[in-house]
Amino acid sequence: MGYYSEVSILCGRNVAKKLVELPELFGADITKRLGGTYQFYWESVKWYEGSFKEVDAVMEIVNKYLHKDFGPDGPDKPDFCSYIRIGEDLDDSDCECNSFDWDSQWIQKKVCIDGEDICDTGTHDEIKKKFNEEIW
């Protein structure tokens, strides 16, 4: 069992190269994106810093780039790094970026309905009519 998180690291080439050199990325989906960035994504992973050496190795690289002083202009694109972790609890998340480019990735809250299929849609008036006719 355990507590699972969704984790995304969006980064430039220098960061990606360091991450790929790790002996284990424990099932990460790795994508090269348009514009020369790379995404390392784990949909459901036990992301415990201090408990798993693989997580610690990834975070050592990520933190090196997140907290490095790149001067007033920020990092060059190869050193760009953005890290997001979303836990199972609604208020459990981390979001850090070493650039002024916060539009690269973000956390979005949305309403989800599990196990429901859409069988019909319509405008407000159409739905009201269907309810009145008891056919919906």
- Residue 49: the pLDDT is 92
- End-to-end Cα, the chain, rounded Å: 41
- Residue 108: the pLDDT is 75
Number of independent structural domains in the chain: 1
High-pLDDT (> 70) share of the chain, %:
79
Question: pLDDT (tens digit, 9 = 90+) per residue, 88-107?
Answer: 887 888 888 887 555 677 77
Average pLDDT of every residue of the chain: 82
The whole domain housing 86 covers 5-132
**Please, which pLDDT band fits residue 115 given cuts at 50, 70 and 90?**
low
pTM beyond 0.95, yes or no: no
**Please, which pLDDT band fits residue 2 given cuts at 50, 70 and 90?**
confident
Q: Using CA atoms, how far apart are residues 83 and 44, in angstroms rounded to an integer?
A: 15
- Residue 119: the pLDDT is 55
Contact in structure between 111 and 44 (CB atoms under 8 Å): no
Selected residue with higher pLDDT from 107 and 81: 81
Question: pLDDT (tens digit, 9 = 90+) per residue, 20-32?
Answer: 999 888 889 999 8
Q: Using CA atoms, how far apart are residues 71 and 130, in angstroms rounded to an integer?
A: 63
**What phi-psi label fits residue 74: left (phi over 0), alpha (psi between -120 and 50 degrees) or beta?**
left
